[in-house]
Amino acid sequence: MIEILSGVLLMLGSLFILLSSVGIIKMPDLFTRMSATTKASTLGIGLVLIGTALFWGNVGIVVRSFAIIIFLLLTTPVAAHIIGRAAYFDKVPLWDKTQIDELKGKYDEDSHELK
């Protein structure tokens, strides 16, 4: 039973990682690509690690897997935010069908702080 559950988690995780890679290719601009890849890849890697931890059942592997998952959950959103903010300041163009730019006119160009 554990092998089946582990296999299902590994397959689901692999599917989310595949969707993340498709998102890099199909999304129209940097900001939507980042959104798709950070969410899907974090979920995919988490599912793969949980499936691996369940399959092996060793305490050391389980602890390492959950430590990696916690590390990913803490660092991936911060890294995506920093990359997105840097891209916005460098005036990376938004997708031409973007309707709302909520940050337009709210940042000081010199100090990069909110007005």
Range of the domain at 12: 2-89
Assess if residue 29 is contained within a domain: yes
Residue range 26-49, pLDDT digits in tens: 999 998 899 888 999 999 999 999
Q: What is the pLDDT of residue 89?
A: 85
Assess if residue 97 is contained within a domain: no
Dihedral angle over CA of 99, 104, 105, 110, nearest 10: -160
Closest CA to 49 of 77, 21, 72, 68: 68
Specify the pTM. 0.84
Q: Are 104 and 93 in contact (CB under 8 A)?
A: no
C-alpha angle 13/39/102, rounded to 5°? 165
Assess if residue 113 is contained within a domain: no
Per-residue tens of pLDDT for the chain, all 115 residues: 999 999 999 999 999 999 999 999 999 999 889 988 899 999 999 999 999 999 999 999 999 999 999 999 999 999 999 998 888 888 888 888 888 877 787 787 778 777 7
Assess if residue 105 is contained within a domain: no
Assess if residue 114 is contained within a domain: no
Q: Number of folded domains in the chain?
A: 1
Assess if residue 110 is contained within a domain: no
